Amino acid sequence: MKKALILPVLLAMAPPALAGDTSPGALIEAYSAQSGSAPVPENGKALFLGKHVGGKPDTPSCATCHTNDPRKGGQARTGKPIDPMAPSVNPKRFTDTRFVEKWFRRNCNSVLGRECSAQEKADIIAWLSSL
């Protein structure tokens, strides 16, 4: 009977199944399939660096917190450091679907005042992956 209890305990201690479940390329493919269009990295760059008026006044662009050079770290409005966005510098970036979705939802609402579309997500990740 004791052996039967070990497996459930070990499974409960295991890390979440989604951690490290994807890659930048897989996300680009998935978002592109959802949008029905190929990613356009230049559109991702323009969205990331551009100033927007739909969101919060203190976060008019992604670069407000992430900096104009995504190969460098940034800083959240709370003062918390943000690791570089470019996968070439931060290999863990865009490798956890749940984490990616959480931050796209939060940051797109903050900057744009709405969620990003699948096309916008594909464009941004494609641009960041090109750096």
Helix (H, G, I), strand (E, B) or coil at 75: strand
pLDDT in tens, 30-66: 999 999 999 999 999 999 999 999 999 999 999 999 9
Domains of the chain, CATH where assigned:
22-130 (1.10.760.10)
Helix (H, G, I), strand (E, B) or coil at 55: coil
pLDDT in tens, 79-90: 999 999 999 999
Q: What is the pLDDT of residue 14?
A: 42
Closest CA to 104 of 81, 128, 88: 128
d(CA 127, CA 55): 22
pTM (2 d.p.): 0.84
* Phi, psi for residue 74 in degrees, rounded to 5: -125, -165
Query: Are the C-beta atoms of residues 65 and 76 closer than 8 Å to each other?
Result: yes
